[in-house]
Structure 1
């Protein structure tokens, strides 16, 4: 399998980045959903958010790489059996997912740095606050983060259902292309 996308197939780089981002987002959502109910005395009270923030920063870097790769290696053309509305809705869903993912990551960063502190990424490096201390920023960014992550999960679910529809009902290679099997 080639690294770059062709007119008919995704390359291994796009496939790897797609599934890496998908699994990471599911994991971050699950961790975030679980950790909001931790009590102060729970051993994961500090460790859960530290992991969440660190993985979020790494996800940001992967998403920037994914955007750059998409510019360097455009996705394959739609399959001939796809209806115009399917092509347009898939494009809009991808744009919305990219935007929502960046909104979620930036709002998560703002939650964590609203007090002026840096984010320590697994002890490897730090990402400093660009805002300093801003009163009320944590609450505003928190609301945006909450709703954008739920929107991502819902839209990603619709995206997955669309892929399954193409695979099980239309019996085309839409899903197989993203699995590297087409």
Structure 2
């Protein structure tokens, strides 16, 4: 028998992703608000490493979530709850969310790789840089990172609006997402 809602694992990972994305935006505003480094970079290193660690963890959690969703698909939403065009919009929203999250994280990592500053995953594992310090590539990937993050905020607004719409209708769609 096919499950009515998302699996417990998928629901938990959804909320881990949501909280992680929130903290990524908070940490980005924090780290970009710090004064530019002079000779000593140490006081800026922690927020940047924390931001990078959250981003890398986010991609890993997203990969597991996509695997879980692929292996354990929930039953389709009934036509009474969502019209076919709404179902297509929901699928498109999720695909765009996942693509933008990956683009944000990859562009951030690439920017870091070309910045000359290494990435140590949770201060335990040194990640390789994709090349030598290169200001032009650092700026390019930083710009891509910035614009994909703004796009992520926009698509998240659509995603949250859809959830609020279904919560207001009380049509059972939100219940499928919150089932633990």
TM-score, L = length of structure 2:
0.88
How far apart, in 1, do the equivalents of 2:67 and 2:138 lie? 30
Kept in 2: contact 1:79–1:174 (CA 8 A): no
Tell me, what secondary structure is at the counterpart of 1:120? strand
The Cα of 1:135 is off from its aligned counterpart by: 4.5
CA distance 1:90–1:152, shift in 2 (3 Å): same
* Corresponding position of 1:28: 24
The Cα of 1:61 is off from its aligned counterpart by: 1.0
* Corresponding position of 1:150: 150
Higher relative contact order (CA 8 A, sep 6+): 2
The Cα of 1:55 is off from its aligned counterpart by: 1.2
Question: Given the alignment of the two structures, is residue 49 of structure 1 paired with residue 77 of structure 2, yes or no?
Answer: no
The Cα of 1:79 is off from its aligned counterpart by: 2.8
How far apart, in 2, do the equivalents of 1:128 and 1:22 lie? 27
Q: 1:17 aligns with which of 13, 36, 39?
A: 13
Q: Which runs of 5+ in 2 are unaligned?
A: none
Kept in 2: contact 1:167–1:174 (CA 8 A): yes
- Pairwise CA RMSD: 2.1
TM-score, L = length of structure 1:
0.87
Q: Which runs of 5+ in 1 are unaligned?
A: none
Consecutive aligned runs of 4 or more in structure 1 exceeding 4 Å deviation: 41-44
Which range is displaced more, 143-152 or 73-82? 73-82
How far apart, in 2, do the equivalents of 1:44 and 1:78 lie? 50
* Corresponding position of 2:92: 92
The Cα of 1:6 is off from its aligned counterpart by: 3.7
